[in-house]
Structure 1
Amino acid sequence: MQDLVTTWYLELCEPAALRRARVPQPEPLIMQARVPLPMLNRFLYTAVGGHWFWRDRLVWSYDRWMAWLDRPQLQTWVLYVDGTPAGYVELEHQQGDDVEIAYFGLMREFTGRGLGGHLLTRGIEQAFAMGARRVWVHTCSLDGPAALANYQARGMRTYKIEHHTVERPETPPGPWPGWDIET
């Protein structure tokens, strides 16, 4: 299926411009996954992105995942609700002291509780703690319906918009093959 996709590129260039989300109560735990573990990041990628057509990393081998993760420039932060992983943010420190929010999101079962704004706030704070002069992200019309609004609510400003056509399946792949996306 051909789909016209809009991609928004957003940035935040100073910590003072961050508009913090309210902290959900009880406050969920957010911890850095300090051990590079491809199985963990692949799980997070499919559990979060399976509903939103995240497909590019599904073909990655264990070695490619490890090469991505096992770098000092990359940090993975996991949000836990009652001990259960609920979402994550992947931060990549890049040349020129930019930090990209490479991946961000919640598992569908945890949306609508204010957790996404809280996790994004903490992710942006961490990006600046990594020495960022600019935190940036891109999101597209195939991502979750609240993604763009969440980035904007945190103070991120659009600096570029692109439109392109992509070939995609009728339905998102889900968290694993054979998953009924409506479940």
Structure 2
Amino acid sequence: MKVRTYYLEMNTPEELIEKTDPRGLAIVEAKINEFRFNKFLYQLIGEQWAWVDKLSLPEAEWEAYVENPDLRTWVAYYEGTIAGYFELNTNESGDTEIAYFGLAPNFIGKGFGGYLLSQAISNAWKITKTKRVWVHTCSLDHDSALSNYKARGLKLYKQEIA
């Protein structure tokens, strides 16, 4: 099966087209590194989209990934339940990647995605060294993923087929 990957970027915080949350989604940064929690979120959110590349990693690699000081994780809660999450990973040149982003299965189609993505982008720009925010998505992700990224102001800069 051929998979199309889309790469999108934003070069200034003013490009963000925010979506407000009328539904009471609480987004909290996980300030204590716990690799098992990140692995759980990766599985919960990614299972339906074939996120399998990291599942076989040894615990030591998960731990090193999560303890990277340039990786930050936020979790979205709705009425006490995990509704989604995102990870931001910043490199030395100031590129902040939305490394993982998504909603838990029970929260897809309920209008949370635009607000959660707005928060991901907004928090990326709050990281002092951020000069560019970028993300990639692919044809295996939710049908609305690409349009959500574009609706928040991210611009397509590259595509690949593998």
- State if a TM-score over 0.5 links the two structures: yes
Greater Rg by CA = 1
**Residues 60-139 of structure 1 aligned to structure 2 (within 5 Å):** 60-131=57-128, 132-139=130-137
Tell me which residue corresponds to 1:23: 21
Runs of at least 5 residues in structure 2 that lack an aligned partner in the other structure: none
* Superposition deviation, residue 109 in structure 1: 0.7
Tell me which residue corresponds to 1:180: none
Aligned residues: 161
Separation in 2, partners of 1:61, 1:33: 22
* Superposition deviation, residue 22 in structure 1: 2.4
Contact 1:24-1:118 at 8 Å conserved across structures: no
Identity fraction in percent = 44
TM superposition score normalised by structure 2: 0.96
Q: In 2 relative to 1, CA 24–112 (structure 1 residues): closer, same or farther, beyond 3 Å?
A: farther
* Matched residue type, 1:133: K
Alpha-carbon RMSD = 0.9
Runs of at least 5 residues in structure 1 that lack an aligned partner in the other structure: 165-183
Q: What whole-Å deviation, never above 9, does each CA across 1:60-98 have from its counterpart, x for those lacking one? A: 121111100112100000000101111100000112111
Separation in 2, partners of 1:18, 1:114: 18
TM superposition score normalised by structure 1: 0.86
